[in-house]
Structure 1
Amino acid sequence: MVHMNQGEGDTSYARNCGIQNAEQNRMKPLIEAAVVDLCTSTSLPRNMVITDLGCSSGSNALVLVSVAIEAIKSYCIQLQKNPPEMCVFLNDLPNNDFTMVIKNLVTLRQGNEPFVVTGVTPGSFYERLFTSGSLHLVCSSSSLHWLSKAPEVLTMNHIPAYNIDEHARREMLPMILEAYAQQFRNDFTHFLKLRAKELLSGGRMVISITGRHSDGFSSKLFHIWETIVQILSVMVLEGVIDKAKFDSFYMPMYGPSSEEFRDIIQEEGSFVIKEMLVRDFTSDADSALFAPKMFMCHMRAVFEPIIVQHFGEVMEEFTRTAERQWRVDGILMDQLGRLAWLCVSLTKA
């Protein structure tokens, strides 16, 4: 069950989501352009339905939908028109901290009365969530790299996703790559088909994802979660966690290349790409967010639940190991430099 650290404590996602917030800020121009396109392509609709898929919790849960609401209001003020009634839905998996989400939604609604109503839609975005032709704008940030499941060809055949032995890891890498790439292709294609049913004709979608710059791969940082398993592998070698447990750990997560991302959208065929951005993962973000200590807090907020589910209460040792490895090896910025931020604005064909 994937979810971020809940609540508002020191290790919570709510307090450690600055990197995701930087990604959301990069999406703002694309969302604003999508709103203008929606409002001008036909006559201004009497009502609009907006949703954020994979909203998580904390203040970030409102960022994307708030950008859309403000863009609609600004457009209407310029044309001296009354804004349409807006319905805002926030979605995430059932174990998400919806208590905080609901409190934030109440604040959003009260600040935009009487023309904004709000709701929560728990569930996986790899299933139908809304009625056919009901959505005007879909947004999603930092979510679609989470897969519906780890590749079954690995889990069913007990093939480790990350082998501690470097020679074995290099040898198996092409097969591991193909397994994860195919799972992402299946999941993302299904996601696009579902959203095409839920969006009305001409509806818009703006989504961002953590991925890779190109299709090339090497033995270094193929997985976007490689930093996590490198730390865990050290803990295996030091006897902190069991090797069999480590070999059966599969992160349901994949970062596509920009080419993969574009190709899947074009092959599925339900959407036309209006604009696509590819940037360094760390660009336009406060460099302090990527200092080892702060980045460790971010990783803990995101990955602690899934690590603890599999290995038990190991996070204090995980944190100590991570800080020691980064201090000695200095690998953090090298690994982050291999990641890319991918964002695409789509129109339903």
Structure 2
Amino acid sequence: MEPMNWGEGDTSYANNSGIQNAEQNRMKPMIEAAIIDLCTSTGTLFPRNMVIADLGCSSGTNALVLVSTAIEAIHSYCIQFQRQPPEVCIFLNDLPDNDFNMVIKSLVTLRKINEPIVVASVTPGSFYERLFTSGSLHLVCSSSSLHWLSKAPEVLTRNHIPAYNIDEHARHEMLPMIHEAYAQQFKNDFTHFLKLRAKEFLSGGRMVISITGRHSDGMDSKLFHIWESIVQILSVMALEGVIDKDKYDSFYMPMYGPSSKELREIIQEEGSFSIKEMVVRGLTSGADSALFTPKMYMCQMRAVFEPLIVKHFGEVMEEFMRTAERQWSLDGILRDHLARLTWLCVSLTKS
């Protein structure tokens, strides 16, 4: 995994994350419902304090959207039912190389809230490791993060098997094996993630997560992996000699988009959480159509993937952007890609 583009410049994640922000806004009803459940749980006293974490917060204005929604929901509940607001502890988590300078500056807005009292901090680290003390969490939120894997599948990297072969016939022949490798890596990682969080939650704690996924379990040769549009551009660059083919063959995107069936089965098999609600929606549904023009989409993809691409290939982003504009401007190419992707949003309760 790599952090998003730093800063507040033209290519930064902070200024090119409208797609992620639109999904965060669609998560609000689930977060509000989770807060109401936490405040009204039978058999427990009204909480005097609540601990809330956002895993994979990144930077910019998006970093506070989910936790702000939770704080506002607590405030509204306490006003409606004339309760003394609990003190709230907020943790914002992302990889150590994340732009935490921006995150820390934005925390000032949370500290200005009088009710409930909010104490906020950052927690650097991978969400594939322990992050919090046992039995401490009330609510965890995560958006646009958990499709990132802890690593690319070892069966591919160890055996030097390209994840996306330039040759179309070879790519089609290898697709089932590539799919199985990525699906198994996601299952291992997400199961591990659930086990870690289960140790950190209070009984009855809630988790609301949204990740990029696929519409179906079937293997569509036109688009199967959520990263396929990116490596298609890189494959054109390799064919044109802009990047080295051997380097291209050794490039693996550490991310996977499950189907809703896959996600449900993994959660049920792991057993620490029960599914309260699951919503599947198209990537573009309810979002501003301007976010999905070739130019806007390119800028948003650059903000996410530039660190990973530059680390492997060097300074090739300007050529990548030119190639992407040329490819994605072809009639229907980008539209077909986006139509096959979904957001999977699920609300979980700690058993």
**TM-score bin, normalised by smaller chain:** over 0.9
TM-score by length of 1: 0.99
User: Corresponding residue for 2:93?
Assistant: 91
| Aligned 1:225-304 pairs, distance under 5 A | 225-304=227-306
| C-alpha deviation, 1:328, in angstroms | 2.9
User: Corresponding residue for 1:205?
Assistant: 207
How far apart, in 2, do the equivalents of 1:165 and 1:152 lie?
A: 22
How far apart, in 2, do the equivalents of 1:149 and 1:248 lie?
A: 14
Q: 1:142 aligns with which of 133, 136, 144?
A: 144
| C-alpha deviation, 1:114, in angstroms | 6.8
Q: What amino acid maps onto 2:7 in structure 1?
A: G
RMSD: 0.9
| C-alpha deviation, 1:113, in angstroms | 6.1
Report SS of the residue matched to 1:221.
coil
| Aligned 1:319-338 pairs, distance under 5 A | 319-338=321-340
Report SS of the residue matched to 1:111.
coil
| C-alpha deviation, 1:111, in angstroms | 3.0
User: Corresponding residue for 2:13?
Assistant: 13
Once the two structures are overlaid, the 10-residue window that deviates more, 100-109 or 182-191, is: 100-109
How far apart, in 2, do the equivalents of 1:111 and 1:288 lie?
A: 34
User: Corresponding residue for 2:32?
Assistant: 32
Q: What amino acid maps onto 1:145 in structure 2?
A: H
Report SS of the residue matched to 2:96.
coil
How far apart, in 1, do the equivalents of 2:141 and 2:116 lie?
A: 23
User: Corresponding residue for 1:163?
Assistant: 165
Percent identical residues: 83
User: Corresponding residue for 1:317?
Assistant: 319
| C-alpha deviation, 1:217, in angstroms | 1.2
How far apart, in 2, do the equivalents of 1:98 and 1:335 lie?
A: 32
Q: 1:67 aligns with which of 49, 69, 85?
A: 69
User: Corresponding residue for 1:106?
Assistant: 108
The C-alpha deviation readout for 1:91-136, integer Å capped at 9, x for no partner, is 0000100000001112211234671100110000000000000000
Residue 172 in structure 1 maps to residue 174 in structure 2: yes
Residues 73 and 118 of structure 1: CA distance in aligned 2, closer, same or farther (over 3 Å): same
CA contact (8 A) 2:88 2:116 kept: no
| Aligned 1:184-195 pairs, distance under 5 A | 184-195=186-197
The C-alpha deviation readout for 1:313-333, integer Å capped at 9, x for no partner, is 000000000001122353001
Q: 2:57 aligns with which of 55, 58, 61?
A: 55
Q: 1:306 aligns with which of 305, 308, 326?
A: 308
Q: What amino acid maps onto 1:286 in structure 2?
A: D
Gaps of 5+ in 1: none
| C-alpha deviation, 1:82, in angstroms | 1.3
Q: What amino acid maps onto 1:74 in structure 2?
A: S
Q: What amino acid maps onto 1:68 in structure 2?
A: A
Query: After TM superposition, which residue ranges in structure 1, 4 or more long, deviate above 4 angstroms?
Result: none
Q: What amino acid maps onto 1:102 in structure 2?
A: I
How many equivalent residue pairs? 349
Q: What amino acid maps onto 1:170 in structure 2?
A: H
CA contact (8 A) 2:91 2:120 kept: yes
The C-alpha deviation readout for 1:184-235, integer Å capped at 9, x for no partner, is 0000000000111000000000000000011111211111000000000110
Gaps of 5+ in 2: none
Q: What amino acid maps onto 2:308 in structure 1?
A: I
Residues 13 and 90 of structure 1: CA distance in aligned 2, closer, same or farther (over 3 Å): same
Q: What amino acid maps onto 1:161 in structure 2?
A: A
CA contact (8 A) 2:86 2:116 kept: no
TM-score by length of 2: 0.98
User: Corresponding residue for 1:4?
Assistant: 4
How far apart, in 1, do the equivalents of 2:7 and 2:295 lie?
A: 20
User: Corresponding residue for 1:221?
Assistant: 223
Q: What amino acid maps onto 1:78 in structure 2?
A: Q
Report SS of the residue matched to 2:330.
helix
Q: What amino acid maps onto 2:184 in structure 1?
A: Q
